[in-house]
Amino acid sequence: MSVPDARLPRVNVSRDSRSASAAPAAEQPTATPSLRRRLAELRGPGVRPRSLDARALAALAANPGCRRRALLDGAGIDKGALAQALGSPAAYGQSQFAIVRGNAFEARVKADGGTELLRLLHERLAPGTPPPVPEQVATPELSAAGPEGRAARTALALREATEAGGWALLDHPMLVVEVAGSPAYVEPDAVVVHPDGSWTVVEIKSFPMIDGSADAAKVGAAARQAAVYALALEPVAGHVAAHTGRAVRVRDRALLVCPKDFSNLATAAAVDVRKQLATTRRQLSRLTRVEEIAAALPPETTFDLRLADDGKTATRRPEELAAAVEVVGAAYAPECLAACELAFHCRTRSREDGAVEALGRGVRGELGGLRTIEEVLAAARPGARPQEPEPPAADGPDDPAVLALRRAAALRDGALARPTVPGPRAEEPGCH
C-alpha cells in the first residue's frame, strides 16, 4: 500500500483568555469520586487499573455499540486475564521477539537526539524550509509522577516549545483523551513541534516499507493510532494557542517511520489521517458513558478475579465470572477476533444464542429484523421447521429480507435437484 504525501490545509485552533497556569489541565476529563469508587469495586480490592493504549482505543472506537468493552476498558480491567479465567484466552498479540526488535529500531531512529528522525520529517513534511540544526532542537524532559503529572508536564513542554518558535522533539509524551466520560492516557512514540507552531505525530513501526509501500492493514492500524494521538493533542493545542498568541495546529499528516526494505535503515512516509481522525471522533462520541453503564449493573456485580498469593492465578469460579460478564451487553462481530481479548468468549456465547452477528456485520445488515439463525431458516422455509414461540421480527412475507431468503432457498433446492454429472446417452456406444 502506498502512503501518499498530500498537502493539507492549514487549520487554526480557537483561542480563549484563561490563565496560563490552569490551561493545560482545564480540559482533562475527570471522573467523579462516586464513579471512581464504583470502577474500583468492579476491578476488585487492591487491583490497579490497566492503562488504555491507542491500539485498544482505536479498536474500541471501531465498535462503539459494545457496552461490555466500553465498561471494561473504562474501568481499567485486564481483559486478557479475564478471558484466561473464563477459559477463552486470546490467541493474538505481538511476540516477544517482535517487541524487542521494535524497541531496538525505535532507539536507533531516536539516537543522537533524534537527528535521523528529524531529517526524515523535514524531508517528508517540510521540504523547502530550513532544516533543523541538531544542536538547536529542544528535547524537553517529560518525567513526572503518575500519568496525570506526565500529561501536565507534556502540555507545559508543548507550550514552551511553541513559544520558543524552534524545533522540538518530545519523546514518548503523555496525552489524555476522553473515552466514554473517563480519562484515558495514551503515549505516542514522539511529537515534533515545528517552528511555524504546528505539531506532528510520529509513529515508529518495525514492519518494512518496501519501495515506499507497506502492508495495507498495518498502515491502516498505524493511521488509526496516529488519529487517536492527534485527537488527544487538539485540546492542548487550543490552550497553547490561547496563551502564546500563535496559530497552533495539529497536522493531519502523521509521519510513519519504518525499516527500509529488509534493512535496519529507517525510511518514512507521510500518512494522511483525516479520515481516521473524523471516524474516531465520531465513534468516540457515540460511546455510552461509563457511568450510565455502571449505574445499570446490579450492585453486587464485580469482575474481581480474586488472585492467589502469586498475583497471577485466578481463584474465582469461571461460572461466577461468566455471569458477571453476561450482565453487560456485547456487540460481537468477527472483526473483534483481531482486536479484543474477550472475542473468543463472546463468539462462543453468540454461537450458542444463534445470533446472526456471528456471521458478520454485512450479513447482519442484510437480514433486517431477523435476529437469530433459527428465525432466518424459518423465514427461508416456512413450515419446514417447528413452530417458533415468537414469530420472526420481520415485516411478514413481503419483507425484502424474507423474499431474498426464499428465493435463495428455491435456487439452492433447484441446483441440488439436478444431477451434477449426466449419465451416458442410450444411443451412444460405449468406449472401446
Structure confidence at residue 146 as a pLDDT band (50, 70, 90): confident
pLDDT exceeds cutoff 70 at 214 = yes
pLDDT exceeds cutoff 50 at 335 = yes
Structure confidence at residue 174 as a pLDDT band (50, 70, 90): very high
Which whole number is the average pLDDT over 160-174? 95
pLDDT exceeds cutoff 60 at 10 = no
pLDDT exceeds cutoff 90 at 287 = no
pLDDT exceeds cutoff 50 at 311 = yes
Torsion of CA 393, 399, 405, 410, to 10 degrees: 130
pLDDT exceeds cutoff 50 at 386 = no
Residue by residue, what is the 3-state secondary structure of 97-136? HHHHHHHHHHHHHCHHHHHHHHHHHHHHHCCCCCCCCHHH
What's the pLDDT at 426? Answer: 60
Structure confidence at residue 374 as a pLDDT band (50, 70, 90): confident
Mean pLDDT, the chain, integer: 83
What's the pLDDT at 19? Answer: 34
pLDDT exceeds cutoff 60 at 15 = no
pLDDT exceeds cutoff 50 at 387 = no
**Least reliable range by pLDDT among 247-251, 260-264, 268-272, 414-418:** 414-418
pLDDT exceeds cutoff 60 at 170 = yes
Which whole number is the average pLDDT over 141-168? 94
Which whole number is the average pLDDT over 1-30? 38
- Which cell is 355 given? 445470533
What's the pLDDT at 6? Answer: 36
What's the pLDDT at 179? Answer: 80
Structure confidence at residue 338 as a pLDDT band (50, 70, 90): confident
363 vs 140, more confident: 140
pLDDT exceeds cutoff 90 at 396 = no
Percent of all residues in the chain with a pLDDT value above 70, rounded to a whole number? 84
385 vs 184, more confident: 184
What's the pLDDT at 424? Answer: 61
